[in-house]
Each structure stands twice: as structure tokens, then as C-alpha cells.
Amino acid sequence: MVKLNGDIMRGLYIHIPFCKHICSYCDFPKRIAINDNQINEYIDYIIEDIDNYKKYFPSIKTIYIGGGTPNFLSDYNLERLLKKIDSLNLSPLEYTIECNPEFLCKKQAELFIKYGVNRVSLGVESFIDSDLKFLNRHHTKADVIEAIKILKDNNLNNINIDLIFAHPNDTLDKVKECLDEFLKLNIPHISYYNMILEQKTIFSNLISQGKIKLLDNDTEANMYELIINTLKEKGYHHYETSNFALPGFESIHNQIYWDSMEYIGIGAGASGYLDDIRYTFDSRLKHYYLNQKQLDRISKEEKKKEYFLLGFRKIDGVSINEYKRRFNSSPLDDFNFQSLLEKNLIYIENDRIKLTQKGIMLTNEVFIEFV
């Protein structure tokens, strides 16, 4: 059991799988709702399901409502959900909701404040309107600026922006433009994701038809380097592969995943990790309502590997002493780090094993050693 300052710490993730439209790159569990009743029914089930995790409530330190598009919910459903969470009296350190800019409005911001949401993660993806269309996003740069104004006017200043780089239409100049636009907004956190080509997405179809193609590795690496250098220069702490924060604004909830700590996952397609079992609910609504999920017991050996696979996403690496505390053995005995050290992909500094600059650029080469 992982503890923080002596307390057991868990996260609570609630998944809202509804979207108004489907983005070209996305393979997250999501769907276009058939009608309002379908969404009402889903929220009914979520509200009911939350109580099944009562015994874990005292340990919950972070809440994350993600999607899909949580702020695609009507005010009625959003308030029902937030009110239910509020009734649990959890006092989380961090309470995030994911939002798409085009739906964000004053009423939503007021509901967030009323029910204790203290962090908003906005799916911006690009500040270039033609690229937003290409990604099949239905907002514009102007919508993003308006959404941020609404949040700040309501004292919701702990904001994250998601951007995606290296999509098939991307260029180094466009990444620079997006960074410039981001920096104008005075936002404390950014998740800048390298686009992953997922199967069965609009992009994977277009690629197999030869209509678009992926960028080459060197261009992607140059973009990533530009992002890291620009954000660092402006005072952002590069604390995880894709995440940058002004000091003090690092996400606590995501830290739970990277530290291989436990979390409750609720909702169709949501995953959780409790009592050594990782579970993933069926993403089909009716199957979720019947509590159908895949269960995987994580063995001690798998946990050791995950400690590195997840932990190496953190730029300050993993703690040797914490590993010893959890597993009663030394990572230096359990794994052979020699080839990673020789290839200059990792280094050891005091208690921590960290990726080198080269390792950060070539994380897949590091991860292969643990798979």
C-alpha cells in the first residue's frame, strides 16, 4: 500500500464517455449519445456506482472527471454528478474536470466553483484554426480565448491546456506559433502530447488510404526539443514526458498513476487499480451497467516493472529507496541497468535513477528493457 506522508492516498477517476463529435486521432472510450435519456441514465448509474467504493473514500486525495467530454453534459446532469461527489465530503487536494472549449460557459464555471472543482483541463490541441478543422475539433482559437476568460473571471486559475504536436499537418513553425499563443495566455500547466496514431481512428483510415502520412522521427524529435527548450526558458518545470507546469502547479492526480499508486475508476471504459487488481470496465454502456469488467491481478514482478515503466515518465525519475520499501529488494539487483547506462539513456544520482536528455528523447528504447 502506497502512502503519502503516512496517509494512504488514492485518486478517484470518473469517466463521461459522451462527445458531440469524434476527433480524427482519438481512441479513448467515447461515443455520440443517441439522445438525452441515454445520458440521464448513464449519470444515474454513475451516481449509484460511486457508493460501491465507500470503503476507499477516506483515502481519496484527488478527483478527476474525464472523458469523453464531461462539460458536454447538460447543467442538470453536471450538477447531479457534482452534487453527488460533494455529498461524499472528500476534501480533495485537487479536483479536476476535463472540458472542451466550445461548451464552456459561465454557468458551468459557477457550478465548478459551487461544488469545489479547483482545476480545469481544456482540450485545446492547437491554436491554428485550419489544424483544428483537420483534427476534427469543432472549436476555434477564439473559443479557447473566451473559455479561458470565463474560467479566470470565475477565479478558476488552475488551468491545464492539452496540445498535440506531430500530427500529419504539423510543422516546426506551427509548433512555435502554438507555443507563442500558449505563453500569451498566462496558464500554469500544459500537457503537450506527441500524437499517437491509434488503430480504428479517422487518421489511421486516411493513412491506410494513402491520403495523409505521418511525420518522420527527426521532425518529431525537433518539435519535442523545441517544446522542452521554449517552456523551460519561460519557467515551466518539465516534470513528466508530456507535462510542464509553473512551480507548484504540477498535477497531483496524474502523479498517482506515474507513482503506481491506487485509484478508483468509475464509468464505461474506465480503469482502476485497487488491492493489486487492475480493472477496466466494458466501454459498452449496457455492459458497464451490468458491472462487466476485465480484471488483471498484478503480480509482484509486474509491479516492479511498472514501477519503472510508469516512473520513468517522471523527469526526476524513480527512487531506489521507495522501491526497496515497496518490494523488499534493490532495483539494482532485480534489473540489469548496464546496457541503459552504457547507451547513456539513464543515470543514477543519489537515491534516484533518471533518464538522461537522450533517454527523454528516446523513452521507447528505455521502456523496451522493462517489457
- Contact positions toward ligand SF4, by CB under 6 A? 19, 22-23, 26, 28, 30, 67-69, 100, 123
Calculate the alpha carbon distances from 247 to 15, 135, 250 in Å: 28, 31, 7
For ligand SF4, the closer of residues 22 and 341 by Cβ is 22
Q: Choosing among ligand SAM, ligand SF4, none, which partner's interface includes residue 22 (Cβ < 5 to 8 Å by kind)?
A: ligand SF4
For ligand SF4, the closer of residues 68 and 359 by Cβ is 68
Residue nearest to ligand SAM (CB): 123
CB 125 to ligand SAM: min, Å: 6
CB 162 within 8 A of CB 124: yes
CB 79 to ligand SAM: min, Å: 20
Give which of 284, 282, 262, 286 is closest to 273, Cα–Cα: 262
For ligand SF4, the closer of residues 30 and 119 by Cβ is 30
For ligand SF4, the closer of residues 207 and 320 by Cβ is 207
Our measurement of the distance from residue 168's CA atom to the centroid of its chain's CA atoms, rounded to an integer in Å, reads 22
Calculate the alpha carbon distances from 133 to 22, 95, 129, 144, 237 in Å: 12, 31, 6, 14, 31
Q: Choosing among ligand SF4, ligand SAM, none, which partner's interface includes residue 245 (Cβ < 5 to 8 Å by kind)?
A: none
Please give the Cα distance from 140 to 100 (Å, whole number).
11
Interface residues with ligand SAM (CB under 6 A) are 25-26, 28, 67-69, 98, 100, 123, 125, 162, 164, 193, 195-196, 198
Residues 6+ apart with CB under 8 A from 245: 188, 189, 190, 236, 237, 239, 251
Calculate the alpha carbon distances from 358 to 29, 74, 107 in Å: 33, 46, 46
CB 194 to ligand SAM: min, Å: 7
CB 125 to ligand SF4: min, Å: 8
CB 232 to ligand SAM: min, Å: 21
